[in-house]
Amino acid sequence: MTRIYMDHNATTPVAPEVLAAIMPYYSEEWGNASSVHWAGRGPKNAIDDAREAVSSLIGAPPRDVFFTSGGTESDNTALIGVAQALRAKGRHIVTSAIEHPAILDTLESMERLQGYEVTRIEVDTHGRHDLEALRSALREDTVLVSVMLANNELGNINPIAEMSEITHEAGVLFHCDAVNALGKIPVDVAELGADLLSISAHKIYAPKGVGALYVKRKTPFEPYLRGGGQERGRRCGTYNTAGIVGFGKAAEVASPYVDAEAMASVARLRDRLESKILDGLAGVELNGDPNDRLPNTSNLSFEGVDGEGLVLNLDLNSIAISTGSACSSGSLEPSHVLLGLDKDKRWLEAAIRFSLGRSNDEHQVDQVADTLIREVRRLRQVVSEATG
């Protein structure tokens, strides 16, 4: 049975050209990039090239971008780095109630262990933010606002440019988690108005275990990891040369996929999937903003069906989808993102996410829709007979 993967918001396969670029740094150019002798020069030059490519993808000066172990470290570093640098100004941080756990869990620990106060802005039933709520949340002692560019579960694209403008008017720094937006829509730090921005390699067909953080020049910032002096002291630790090279190659390859035509092509596949499902089944609801969302993402709820059960049944048909964030898998409760929509829990427990990628085509979309319709009907029949 042919396997179909529609969980690209969780991770992506390593692209062939990325894998080819990586391999020499395991076998030939294996030296430590911090070494001054011949074995370190090749890796050092390759890291510099990768930095240029990754920076170009987000419209940033290379000097303002440093590499990390992934999106989680980038998010943690942004929050803690700014908070430590500005602790004399205040201990108040503003974020969204439906951010990634890398943001929310870090802020919760800062509240509990370090005495910070966090304001979490709620969203409406479509997952949209009220800009006036952001404005009202800002205070004299606010040191940072952190809001993601695109929600990993719903696909919602947030009005980051407007949010950063409001934040800057109050004299506050703005951090943007762009991990799930990178490679799907254009990301430009200047247009977004971000002082700090987090990205990750494995979302754009590069290896896991590498990411980057943009920190605008002169932004108050204290390093999170110390010792060794790598990345001009901003992120110490031996370089993951192969991963960084892969990130750079993936950034080069990603550029054509975020132009208008490529994004429209992915959106047509997503819309085809939704149309076939909505035409074939009653009792289906779209979760999130129907308009301002990633072109590859669809989050749907199916009345009378448990989302986790539906995911497992589709897996038995060799189709990979999810109920939400891979970082929160294993929980039987709806995610904090879905709960934040303030909808009836019966809809939230029946939610699943489709996230398309480069390998998906119309044939796969039709096969997934047909299989899902069949399985939903079967599961509804089982429930009907059981409650009889």
Per-residue tokens: 257: 């996929």
pLDDT digits (tens, 9 = 90+) for 89-119: 999 999 999 999 999 999 999 999 999 999 9
Same domain as 301, residue 235? no
Same domain as 73, residue 192? yes
CB count within 10 Å of CB 106 equals 24
Q: Sign (positive/negative) of CA torsion 208, 261, 298, 317?
A: negative
Task: Among 256, 279, 296, give the residue marking a domain's end.
Answer: 256
Closest CA to 12 of 250, 368, 261, 298: 250
CB count within 10 Å of CB 147 equals 25
Closest CA to 33 of 50, 20, 23, 46: 46
DSSP character string of 125-137:
TTS-B-HHHHHHH
CB count within 10 Å of CB 28 equals 9
The Cα–Cα gap between 94 and 144 comes to 6
Looking up residue 294, the CATH number of its domain turns out to be 3.90.1150.10
Q: Please report the pLDDT score of residue 240 as a whole number.
A: 97
Same domain as 180, residue 80? yes
Question: Which of 327, 339, 379, 383 is an active site residue?
Answer: 327
For residue 276, give Cα distances in angstroms to 269, 271, 283: 11, 9, 14
Pairing of strands 297-302, 351-355: antiparallel
Looking up residue 200, the CATH number of its domain turns out to be 3.40.640.10
Whether the CB-CB separation of 204 and 251 falls below 8 Å is answered with yes
Q: What is the pLDDT along the chain (388 residues), one digit of tens a residue?
A: 689 999 999 999 999 999 999 999 999 999 999 999 999 999 999 999 999 999 999 999 999 999 999 999 999 999 999 999 999 999 999 999 999 999 999 999 999 999 999 999 999 999 999 999 999 999 999 999 999 999 999 999 999 999 999 999 999 999 999 999 999 999 999 999 999 999 999 999 999 999 999 999 999 999 999 998 999 999 999 999 999 999 999 999 999 999 999 999 999 999 999 999 999 999 999 999 999 999 999 999 999 999 999 999 999 999 999 986 555 545 567 889 999 998 888 888 899 999 999 999 999 999 999 999 999 999 999 877 777 6
Give the 3-state secondary structure of residue 10: coil
Alpha helices, DSSP H only, in the chain? 16-22, 24-27, 38-57, 71-85, 101-114, 131-137, 160-169, 189-192, 241-254, 260-280, 307-316, 336-339, 345-348, 362-387
Q: Please report the pLDDT score of residue 331 as a whole number.
A: 55
The Cα–Cα gap between 193 and 190 comes to 5
Whether the CB-CB separation of 111 and 117 falls below 8 Å is answered with yes
Length of the chain (residues) = 388
Same domain as 302, residue 162? no
Per-residue tokens: 85: 């640098």
Q: Please report the pLDDT score of residue 333 as a whole number.
A: 75
Total domains in the chain come to 2
Same domain as 382, residue 318? yes
The Cα–Cα gap between 214 and 72 comes to 14
Percent of the chain's residues with pLDDT above 90:
90
Same domain as 324, residue 381? yes
Closest CA to 48 of 202, 173, 232: 232
Q: Please report the pLDDT score of residue 141 as a whole number.
A: 98
Same domain as 236, residue 352? no
The parent domain of residue 36 ranges over 16-256
Q: What phi and psi values does residue 293 have, to the nearest 5 degrees? A: -145, 165
Q: Please report the pLDDT score of residue 332 as a whole number.
A: 60
Catalytic residue list contains 236: no
Same domain as 203, residue 105? yes
Task: Among 256, 277, 296, give the residue marking a domain's end.
Answer: 256
Per-residue tokens: 333: 């409760």
Task: Among 213, 229, 256, give the residue marking a domain's end.
Answer: 256
Pairing of strands 92-96, 65-68: unpaired
Same domain as 282, residue 249? no
